[in-house]
Amino acid sequence: MADLSPPDLTKIKRVLIVKLSAMGDILHALPVASALKASFPHLEIGWAVQTNFALLLEGNPSLTRIHEVPPLRVNHLNRRDYRRDYPASLREIRQCRYDLVLDLQGLTKSALVAVWSGASLRYGYHWLRELARIVEKPIPKRSQSVHVVDQYLDTAHFFGAAVRPVTFPFLISDTDSAHVKSLLREGGIREGDRFLSVNPASAQPLKQWGESHFAGIMDRIYEKTGTPCVLLTSDKAVAGKVAAAAQHPFVDLSGKTTLKQLGGVIAESRVHLCGDTGSAHLAAALGVSTITLVGPTAPDRICPYGQRANVFSHKEVCDPACNWHHCAFPHAKCLAAITEGEVVERILGLMPPD
């Protein structure tokens, strides 16, 4: 796997992108398919994605096929449906006879898909781990590429694709858009009204700022501007804690939207407020101003693309041992250092009172 000479994509017909999860990571990778298709229009591009994230790719004009793959779960092997569905998804991919695989996940679960595809050419972005290091060629990142979006785009650049402008195709159907507007009307928000969309949840406790803080922000924005807030999260337990702490009414859409409808609500909002979670990257992809509260992760690498100025991060109080999956303290000091006052000030700067 040592030869790093790029293949000639003008002589290749079918390319498979493997990016199985998670929400933010898939959104970060969207520009790769756009760049490849724009530079090599003849390509048939497929994308292998976990079933629970397939909606993120629905309607993507750069893709010819979307392959839904169940999450790789060893503890599910005793289930008959899993033993049926997982191999079936791999057989479907193999039947497409891909010439080249581009693995943007770089893990064993994605490497299995890459190998099973039967493609003779298998590449991955620079950070390959586990089995992927053995069966794929890593494409080095360019020194100027700091953000993960640019690091993914280095793979398209390697194959000769133009990587500017950076585009994030995320299509919201007319049906989903109409449903979103109906939900907002039911909450008292008419079309054209400005509002703050808020996602207080993060998948990892390490990344949670705190429900009472989000409730405090919502109350202060309402008191200062009269602007309504819309709560967006699939985590109803977190939503319940926000509701218990909030002093003023808000529109609660927690658990009421699909991924596409989540994007539809964010697209209608003036500003999106959230932690280090997928909705931050969805808002950035939709061109919505996004205020993101980041803990021990590296903000320059994973902030909403193009919105570094709207990220709050106090890594200066972190221990050198802290990183995106480990905190040296009982509670994340870097998140605790973020104040409601500084966040409110930034929101008002993006959404000043009338």
Burial of 294 (0-12, 13-18, 19+ CB in 10 A): buried
pLDDT tens, 152-187? 999 999 999 999 999 999 999 999 999 999 999 999
C-alpha distance from residue 116 to each of 16, 89, 108 (Å): 12, 10, 12
**Domain spans in the chain, listed from the N-terminal domain onward:** 9-158, 174-350
Residue 183 one-letter amino acid? L
3-state secondary structure of 124: strand
pLDDT tens, 16-41? 999 999 999 999 999 999 999 999 99
Is it true that 9-158 and 174-350 share their CATH fold?
A: yes
C-alpha distance from residue 69 to each of 25, 26, 37, 135, 351 (Å): 16, 14, 23, 20, 41
Name the percent of the chain in helix, strand, coil, to the closest 5.
45, 15, 40
pLDDT tens, 110-153? 999 999 999 999 999 999 999 999 999 999 999 999 999 999 99
pLDDT tens, 37-94? 999 999 999 999 999 999 999 999 999 999 999 988 877 778 888 888 889 999 999 9
Q: Residue 250: which pLDDT band, with cuts at 50, 70 and 90?
A: very high
Cβ(300)–Cβ(308) below 8 Å: yes
What is 174-350's CATH superfamily?
A: Glycogen Phosphorylase B; (3.40.50.2000)
Which architecture does CATH list for 9-158? Answer: 3-Layer(aba) Sandwich (3.40)
pLDDT > 50? residue 225: yes
The answer, as to whether pTM is greater than 0.75, is yes
Cβ(197)–Cβ(184) below 8 Å: no
3-state secondary structure of 235: coil
